[in-house]
């Protein structure tokens, strides 16, 4: 039996490396925004207002419903949460 190892779960389940990279970025952003919201110690209504989204949308974020958020939307939410977003591009290892 051949055992495959992957850098992260997205590399294992996405069809292409590009799709895996997008999903990795989306999940990293979602986790960062989730952690920021949790650190505020405010109600969901207050957090949603601060992010300029509805409470149901915030609930989707907090529940990890990643398919409901584009990369652009997550960058916007991260910025609204007071986070700085940067993109790091490097040559892929051979």
Note the pLDDT tens digit of each residue in 47-84.
999 999 999 999 999 999 999 999 999 999 999 999 99
Q: What is the mean pLDDT of the chain?
A: 92
Average pLDDT over residues 29-36: 97
| Of 32, 39, 12, 36, the residue nearest 75 (C-alpha) | 32
| Of 20, 18, 36, 30, the residue nearest 75 (C-alpha) | 30
Question: What's the pLDDT score for residue 71?
Answer: 96
Q: Which domains does the chain have, with CATH numbers?
A: 9-80 (1.10.260)
Distances (CA, A) of 4 to 12, 13, 52, 67, 92: 9, 12, 42, 26, 19
């Amino acid at each position: 039996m051949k055992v495959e190892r992957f850098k992260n779960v997205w590399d294992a389940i996405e069809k292409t490396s590009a799709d895996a990279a997008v999903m990795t970025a989306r999940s990293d952003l979602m986790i960062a925004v989730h952690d920021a919201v949790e650190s505020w110690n405010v109600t969901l209504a207050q957090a949603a207002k601060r992010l300029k989204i509805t409470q149901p949308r915030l609930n989707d974020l907090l529940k990890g419903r990643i398919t409901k958020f584009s990369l652009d939307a997550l960058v916007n939410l991260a910025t609204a949460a007071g986070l700085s977003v940067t993109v790091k591009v490097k040559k892929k290892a051979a």
